[in-house]
Amino acid sequence: MEFTKPIKLGTLELKNRVVMAPVKTGYSTIDGQVTNELVQYYVNRAKGGVGLIVLESAYVDPSGKEIPRQLGIYDDSMVEGLRRLIAPLQEAGSKVAVYINHAGRVANTMATKLPLIAPSSVACPSIGVEPQAIPHDEIKKWQRAYIDAAIRAYKAGADALEIQFGHGYLIHQFLSPHTNKREDEYGGSFENRIRFGIEILEGIQKEIGRNFPIIVRISANEFLPDGWTLEDAIKLAKILEKKGVQAIDVSLGSMCEFAPVTMQTLGTNKGQSWEYASKIKKELDIPVIAVGRINSPELAEEILSSDKADLVALGRPLVADPLFIEKAVSGRTKEIRRCLACHQGCFDELRGGRRFGCNINPSVGKEDEIEIPKSPTPGKKVVIIGAGPAGLEAAYTAALRGHKVTLYDENEEMGGQLISASIPPHKEELKGIVEYYKEVLPKVGVEIKLGHRVTPKELAKWEADEIVFATGGQPIVPTIPGLKEHGYLTAVEVLKEGKEAGDTVAIIGGGLIGMETADYLSQKGKKVMVIELLEEVARDMGVFEKNLLMKRLKERDVEIYVKTKLKEVNNALVTETEEGEKKLPLPDIIVLAVGVKPEASLYEEAKKILPEDKLHVIGDAKQVRKIVHAISEGRALGLSL
């Protein structure tokens, strides 16, 4: 395998070509200090065999952080904590790079309680606050913040340093003509715009020496008419190489104008960043790192063997499965929990002020993440009804705990709502988690019985020690005059069962399922309208994914009506709005996506004939929520048995 081959970054030798890309976790203290939780999280990744771990973004000044509990490196008091973080990762076999940054105009003022700074007073659209232009006499102060941070990383025992020159953060804001409107020697020409970052690099080398490996992350293209271009990136990369930088980490976009591209959200062009890395690699002699949705060993091999890059960086794929490399090397690639690029369990949870985690890995950030402990009382007969995400994870966990597990589902294939969820455009990778369970469940001894509808009589005969009801949910069908007579389909029937929806479609309900159904049908050339009772559609989607989806729907002329209620169906769709009654054209078919209700009827029957202490309800059968909650609940239930 190409990614298992060693490589040198200057004097630093890595055992393989896999880099753990920086991903903010929120596991630090409010002051940016290292915690035991943070240490264990990274130790679990080092155990998986990563050649180089680039720690999450460490802010060089309190004014430059993005999330409340972000790793800091702005004070000498942080050196000891960083040393406590770095040493065990090195002991586990990984080299460690500290990654330093100041967010500039992208900083979170709610977290910092400080003014935004930037080269010029150009606001970030996603922040909406105009930053203060850095006065000329304060330039050295901000450069010094980076230099002092680098010294702290060196003192903490880091093997290397990575400096953020991209993603629309402070140094990039100096680089880009879109954000740099200065008229002094730090603005205007290309040479002036790169001066701020180059002087930081030179200052670090002066203090630490040129033998300490430095990696620079750049954005290869900003995708703005007046922004940073590939030609600019190549020129900068050549200068950085001459200045003694040991590797270039190539990414894309800006967290302000093109965050979905930067984050490689579902709906973006997978592989685009690797192609840019390839173009830059052709111009350099130092190693180039490619990043962006490299969620399988096959992709890593393709990138390296085709000479697009010298190393591959995996961020969220190593969140989803810390043993990614170990499984790949040992020939167990199908056992990898492959990142879905959904950002729901990680970025969206963190952005919403909740705990950083993962949709498909419920153990993220926990000490027992690598190994599920055996039960003190193994050998229980466990029956799980429902092979959706909750049931699948419960079966896997219970079997690893040492129990005898039988999994039933009335459908001919496992996956539950994951099947219909994987049908809309750009959601294909959701199938990966189903394929994972298909691979691992037989290996841990789970007996799988599909196409079997369990009856209450069977439950009474089984004499199971534990029965788990993961029976999912059922689409809600509202009572609307004329609806039944006109005819309707549910979103699940359209997506999962492929039922034909006609040329004109009205989707009732503008939540995640409704909007993804609109995306699916409009891509097929259908004329689609969406009717939503609340004032906002897609409110339960992640911000980046939602922005891309809304852009696609606008391009396809999908009509969206908010604060609108469907009252009646006759020779038109009679709706109620704030302005009064409004009639909309009658479509060929009405698709219902107004929500899902728990399907727990079998559990209710079971309670009449079996002791309740051996009955358990999880997932949507208990309460309709997201995949992350279903899988987490399945894991928790499995651990409790």
Q: What's the DSSP call for residue 375?
A: P
Cα distances from 631 to residues 23, 128, 321, in angstroms, run 22, 36, 14
Quickly count: other Cβ atoms within 10 Å of residue 8's Cβ: 12
Cα 337 from Cα 87, distance rounded (Å): 28
The one-letter code for the residue type at 168 is: G
Three-state DSSP state, 469: strand
Distances from the Cα of 634 to the Cα of 133, 207, 388, 438, angstroms: 51, 52, 10, 16
3-state secondary structure of 570: coil
Phi, psi of 605 (to 5 degrees): -70, -40
Residues facing 8 on adjacent strands: 13
Q: Where do the DSSP E strands lie in 446-531?
A: 447-450, 466-469, 473-475, 488-490, 504-508, 527-531
| Contacts of range 611-614, beta carbons closer than 8 Å, 24 or more positions apart | 614/464, 614/465, 614/466, 614/467
187/167 Cα distance (integer angstroms): 19
* Cα distances (Å, whole numbers) of residue 341 to 126, 131, 357, 389: 21, 31, 13, 17
DSSP secondary structure, 299-324, as one string: HHHHHHHTTS-SEEEESHHHHH-TTH
Q: CA 245, CA 211: separation in Å to the nearest integer?
A: 10
- Cα dihedral 202, 206, 208, 211 sign: positive
E-assigned strand segments in 260-412? 288-291, 311-314, 381-385, 404-409
Local structure of 489: helix, strand or coil: strand
Pick the closest to residue 287 from 271, 316, 308, 301 (CA basis).
308
Q: H helices within 417-505, ranges in order?
A: 417-421, 431-443, 456-462, 483-486, 491-495
Dist CA 360 CA 379 (whole Å): 26
Which residues are registered as beta bridge partners of 95?
A: 52
The answer to whether residues 333 and 296 touch, using CB atoms and an 8 Å cutoff, is yes
SS (H, E, C) 200-264: HHHHHHHHHCCCCCEEEEEECCCCCCCCCCHHHHHHHHHHHHHCCCCEEEEECCECCCCHHHHHC
Q: What angle do CA 165, 240, 236 make, to 5 degrees?
A: 65
* DSSP 3-state of 38: helix
Whole-angstrom CA distances from 522 to 82, 186, 431, 553, 563 are 51, 48, 22, 7, 22
Strands 473-475 and 596-598: antiparallel
Assign 378 to helix, strand or coil.
coil
Residue 496 neighbours by CB under 8 Å, 6+ apart: 419, 420, 423
Catalytic residues: 169
